[in-house]
Structure 1
Amino acid sequence: MKDSAGPDFPEKRSAVVIVGPTASGKSAVAMELARSIPAEIVNADSRQVYRGLAACTSLPSERERKAVPHHLYGFLDPDEPYSAGRYAREARGAVLAILKRGRTPIVAGGTGLYIRALCDGLAELPERKEEVRKTLSDFAAERGPAALHRRLAAVDPVSAEKIPAGNVQRVVRALEVHALTGRPLAEWHRSGGKPAPFESFFFGLRWDREVLKARISERCARILDGTLSEAGELLAEGRMTSGPAFQSLGLRAAAARLRGESSRKEFARSLATDTLRYAKRQITWFSRDARVRWLDLSEPFDPSAAAGIILREIPVPAGGAGRRPVSTREF
């Protein structure tokens, strides 16, 4: 494994931000780093905030969450909307509390908008207006997500390019903002917000595309049955497939499989295809951020080696002695 050159980092208390596409090993590297220094992990995955989605979102295990403090994982009801603005407030609160305890916050996840909101801030968007949201949600239920997405493309093509048609929650929010303000959501985002009151070290996990594709394929096979089970539990609870939790990769396709609308093979293919597309969007998003220092990974994956490179680049809080030795193999 090798790391590419990046900016010099300030010698002051900071957060570590670990980014990359799905299945790149972010959680594993975060855990290795947290075992080496006094640290706590903060979620930056918009799907891992929901309860009951441990399999389909590859949530850190209960044992891992007991070994190292984790924040903003699996705490939200599946029907409760969650925005980047709310995430920024809650994640900043978690990061500042960790810093106050004299520990290092490790932010790990692949939701680029959440990480931007946390570190750079977002413009103050208008409050949600339920009647507008209901009208848009009803339109999606009657005409389909693709029709709703075409409406977004007509008024905010930049946001439409970034938001997949299947993510009805985000499409509704973008259209809501435009309806309430007359300005595209993309324009609001460009206007920026208040940056976080702490510095951040950005590290990205990068794989050869074919290797990443194989890792995604392996993950999809591993979570297939769990995703079906979680979709079944949500449906049994009366959750609507238009709700927030069902925006998670694979859940709608799993619901279709459970209704007999597709075969197991078709569901597996859909899950893998959608996950690959999502990974490509993540790579595009993070590749545009010049702050990210990329770590080029290869199989066999050694998360401790990646954590070792990160350790050499960051200041460790007082009391952080006792690092484990870094692997000496060729990176």
Structure 2
Amino acid sequence: MRIDPAKIGEGEVVLIAGPTAGGKTRLALDLAAALATGGRRACLVNADSMQVYGDLRILTARPAREEFAGVAHHLFGHVDAGEAYSVGRWIAEVEEVLAGVRQRGETAIFVGGTGLYFKALSEGISSMPDVPEAVREEVRALAAREGAQGLARRLIECDPQAAAAIRPSDTQRLVRALEVNRASGRSILAFQREGRERALVPDGPRFVLLPAREALYAAIDRRFEAMVEEGALEEVRSLLARELSSDLPAMKAIGVRPLAEHLRGNISLGEAVEAAKTESRRYAKRQLTWLRHQLGEGWERLEPAAHTASGETA
């Protein structure tokens, strides 16, 4: 499968979305190569919330340096696992990237599987109030003491509608909702319903890769086995040595928890691998559902009858 470079106009920004292990990164790299053959410079921009973390190249399927094969790339692996990255920070960094892209006359190809990133990029992001650092520290201290369940209970008390819209286990979103409420006295949902900041990429070529589910699951299984052979256990071992909070996004990357349980001696490696495969398949199922229902008008659907995994990174 390929995207015809003739579909890409001068100065346009390309969006390529798809599920984990779906082949989207290979599709993007092939498009960049095809554009280069035609004398046009192109670069890849990461739109995956996990591939930003430098500590987890293998488990997040971030392409290795040699896989880029000379293609310029941005926002891959530039964040420490000890940080809680956000869509707001990503958008701010994307704005800088796009300014450079336009100055150099390149075609930017955004590729990833984080739906919220694509929504923010193409539709704009809700304006949120400034949160004083004292409030941030207060809420993060609550998270450390009480965990996600405690945060959920507190959010129910002050903002029951937001609490109903957030999974009780989603610490990052619970923290954000509490921060906004304590800083402004209003629900985060109210800000989300109000005006949005301008979209950075309001139009242009957009593609969503939707491989057959069973073939995708098989590719996921093969890829995780390859990850273990490549050194996923060592990545997790290094993370555990840092004693980072389990609430950080990087610590919730698919595969981290079961491999950590194996390293602690609680389960066998085989059990850890099977648990990680199951976790990844479930995530892919949610991604496919979201992509089918949320990326509609303006998105060209690429639905191969069969899916082939060829060492695809994402």
Letter in 2 for 1:250: G
- State the 1:80 CA deviation: 1.9
Name the counterpart of 1:122.
Answer: 125
Matched, 1:46 2:49: yes
The 1:185–1:149 alpha-carbon spacing in structure 2 relative to 1, beyond 3 Å, is same
With normalisation by structure 2, the TM-score equals 0.82
CA contact (8 A) 2:8 2:14 kept: no
Name the counterpart of 1:87.
Answer: 90
CA contact (8 A) 1:2 1:295 kept: no
Matched, 1:232 2:237: yes
Instruction: Give the 3-state SS of the residue equivalent to 2:302 in structure 1.
Output: strand
The 1:302–1:252 alpha-carbon spacing in structure 2 relative to 1, beyond 3 Å, is closer
Q: Deviations over 1:214-263 (max 9, x none)?
A: 12222222223533211111222343333342132222332232222333
- Greater relative contact order, per chain length (Cα 8 Å cut-off, separation 6+): 1
Name the counterpart of 2:21.
Answer: 23
Instruction: Give the 3-state SS of the residue equivalent to 1:52 in structure 2.
Output: helix
2:170 and 2:75 map into 1 onto residues whose CA distance is: 21
1:156 and 1:132 map into 2 onto residues whose CA distance is: 20
2:281 and 2:131 map into 1 onto residues whose CA distance is: 32
Name the counterpart of 1:252.
Answer: 257
Q: Deviations over 1:152-211 (max 9, x none)?
A: 5773656765x6555422331233223323443344333322122663321000112211
Instruction: Give the 3-state SS of the residue equivalent to 1:266 in structure 2.
Output: helix
Range that drifts further, 148-157 or 231-240? 148-157
CA RMSD for the aligned pairs?
2.9
Name the counterpart of 1:75.
Answer: 78
Number of equivalences? 297
- State the 1:89 CA deviation: 1.4
Letter in 2 for 1:51: G
CA contact (8 A) 1:167 1:247 kept: no
Range that drifts further, 99-108 or 132-141? 132-141
Name the counterpart of 2:295.
Answer: 289
2:96 and 2:189 map into 1 onto residues whose CA distance is: 26
2:12 and 2:301 map into 1 onto residues whose CA distance is: 18
CA contact (8 A) 2:48 2:113 kept: yes
CA contact (8 A) 2:22 2:216 kept: yes
Gaps of 5+ in 1: 4-8, 304-331
- State the 1:280 CA deviation: 2.6
Percent identity over the alignment is 36
Gaps of 5+ in 2: 36-40
Name the counterpart of 1:215.
Answer: 219
With normalisation by structure 1, the TM-score equals 0.78
